[in-house]
Amino acid sequence: MSPEENYKKIENFSREIGLDFFGVADIQAVKADFILSSEIKEKFNRAISLGKKLIPSVLDDIIDHPTPLYFHHYRQINFFLDRAALILADYIRDLGAQALPIPASQVIDWERQKAHLSHKKIGELAGLGWLGRNNLLINPEVGAQFRLVTILTDLPLKSDVPLSRDCASCYLCLSVCPVRAIKESQAEFDHWACFEQLKEFRRKGYVGQYICGICVKACSGPK
Ligand code: SF4
Ligand code: SF4
């Protein structure tokens, strides 16, 4: 099958198993940064980015800190994405290609806060959104209210292109951040202040993981 036909087939299957967003990234220019073996990096030139929307009512529970309801949802969405990526990877392997699902949420370098790769970067290259002022991937339909997983593959696939959009004149999330980590320019995002706040939320026992949700709730897309 042609790269276009493969793309359509995989995209259709991803919808059937409940995924909301699908895109393909050409990773040749970025894979050197992946924290994976050179054997894996050499093998794959495409990454499939898959997204699942959050349920907005869960976010309604968040006022000024993450809640157990959000924590549970966050974990369930990650479980869903990991399972969907496994099913889709098997589907690709049945077509005779190789496919490697990358965990939706697994930090492997705590000091530098790094995962095997950046799902946000892959999603951006796959045309699913842009890097917003809140340092999250922003999708035109749902803003920051979705999560991502990635599959690396050698299946011939046409690749998407990044969106030529940004947050434009929207500044909605700047005022909601309790530590003012979100600035006018995404490049100025204060990673340190944000992470200190996540640690504080965890220390206070609101949730058992470094999550927040406040700027996710605020961002349902540019306003
Ligand atoms: S995750 Fe929370 S602390 Fe971090 S930028 Fe968003 S609102 Fe601020
Ligand atoms: S709320 Fe507005 S400014 Fe903030 S990330 Fe979303 S689109 Fe960008």
List pLDDT tens digits, range 57-107. Answer: 999 999 999 999 999 999 999 999 999 999 999 999 999 999 999 999 988
Q: Quick one: which atom of ligand 1 is closest to the CA of 214?
A: 7
Expressed in angstroms and rounded, the spacing between residue 20 Cα and the centre of ligand 1 is 25
Residue type for 46, please? R
Q: Is residue 160 a contact partner of residue 127, using CB atoms and an 8 Å limit?
A: yes
Which pLDDT does position 151 carry in this prediction?
98
Residue 146 lies in a domain: yes
In the chain, how many domains are there? Answer: 1
Name the pTM for this structure.
0.95
Distances in Å between the alpha carbon of 158 and those of 34, 89, 91? 21, 17, 18
Question: How many residues in total does the chain contain?
Answer: 223
Which pLDDT does position 69 carry in this prediction?
97
Q: Which ligand is nearest to the CA of 219?
A: 2
Residue 187 lies in a domain: no
Expressed in angstroms and rounded, the spacing between residue 129 Cα and the centre of ligand 2 is 12
Q: Which of 107, 98, 118, 104 is nearest to 46 (CA)?
A: 98
Q: Quick one: which atom of ligand 1 is closest to the CA of 136?
A: 6
pLDDT band at 152 (very low <50, low <70, confident <90, very high): very high
Residue 135 lies in a domain: yes
CATH number of the domain enclosing 19 = 3.40.109
Q: Which domain holds residue 35?
A: 3-56+69-167
Residue 79 lies in a domain: yes
Q: Is residue 50 a contact partner of residue 84, using CB atoms and an 8 Å limit?
A: yes
Residue 177 lies in a domain: no
Which pLDDT does position 12 carry in this prediction?
98
pLDDT tens readout for residues 7-50: 999 999 999 999 999 999 999 999 999 999 999 999 999 999 99
* Least confident interval from 16-25, 142-151, 199-208: 199-208
Residues with CB under 6 A from ligand 1: 134, 177, 179, 181-182, 194, 197, 212, 214-215
| Average pLDDT of the residues of the chain | 95
